[in-house]
Amino acid sequence: MINTKRIALLLLVIFSGIITQAQSLADIVTKNVAALGGPDKLKALKSQYAEGTMEMQGMNFPFKRWVLQDKAMRLEFEAMGTTNIQVLTNNGGWVQMPVMGKTTAEDMDSSTIKAMGKQLDLTGDFYHYSEKGNKLELLEPETVDGVKLAKVKVTYTNGNVTTCFVDPATGNVVRMANSLEIQGQHMDLVTNVSNFAKTADGYNYGASISQEPVGVKISITKMENNVPVDEGMFKKP
């Protein structure tokens, strides 16, 4: 005699698996894009300006950051009476760090350029990922601080890999894990993102960022998008 309860349970398990697969990666991508502001807003995103403070070793340093989508990024921070600059472009980069005794602009080393490359993309890893050449792989979910998070492995065209931890309830990427080679040294870097806010024009961002094991905490106090940016600020002096 057929056990109807067992058949019902078997069908439930089978169809639950199908539904889970159907919602998996495509749903995560769609939800993340929506969380960032939606595909139309991301398509229209051309520039960004942010300011706030960086906390390192118990000291706070004011910073400003300008980005031209897919073109260039400039970071300035004040430390010990000096203005320090990092610039990354789609064909190189340079630094000027008086706080480290480097008072003239120097070319950024190739490993740092490779590690920082994704900072030129304001639209996130999931938006139009295939057109960008990114490869996504859905991994087993992981519980972090009591919340079950989706995990997506992102492989970029330059070979870098990031594991993104996505809150399935909001679509926000709340953690990123990277294994990097910088100046001949291996580093496992974990970036946590929280305190999500929305700009006046409807773009979502994480206002609080922490990085381990380097112990950097970033608080963003101002964020503006599609503002005029002088491209001359990215040229090496």
Write out the H or E segment, with its range, that includes residue 131.
Answer: helix 129-132
- Look up the pTM and report it: 0.86
Residues, the chain: 237
Q: Can you tell me the distance from the alpha carbon of 173 to that of 161, in angstroms, rounded to the nearest whole number?
A: 15
Write down all domains in the chain, each with its CATH number in brackets. 4-234 (2.50.20.10)
Q: Can you tell me the distance from the alpha carbon of 201 to that of 40, in angstroms, rounded to the nearest whole number?
A: 12
Assess contact for 211 and 190: CB atoms under 8 A. Answer: yes
pLDDT confidence band for 223 (50 / 70 / 90): very high
pLDDT confidence band for 182 (50 / 70 / 90): low
Specify the pLDDT at position 180. 72
pLDDT tens-place string over residues 12-64: 444 444 333 334 899 999 999 999 999 999 999 999 999 999 998 889 999 99
pLDDT tens-place string over residues 171-180: 999 999 988 7
Cα three-residue angle 116-42-149, rounded to 5 degrees: 70
In the predicted model, what is the mean pLDDT of the chain?
A: 89
From start to end of 11-115, where are the E strands? 47-56, 59-68, 72-79, 82-89, 92-97, 102-107
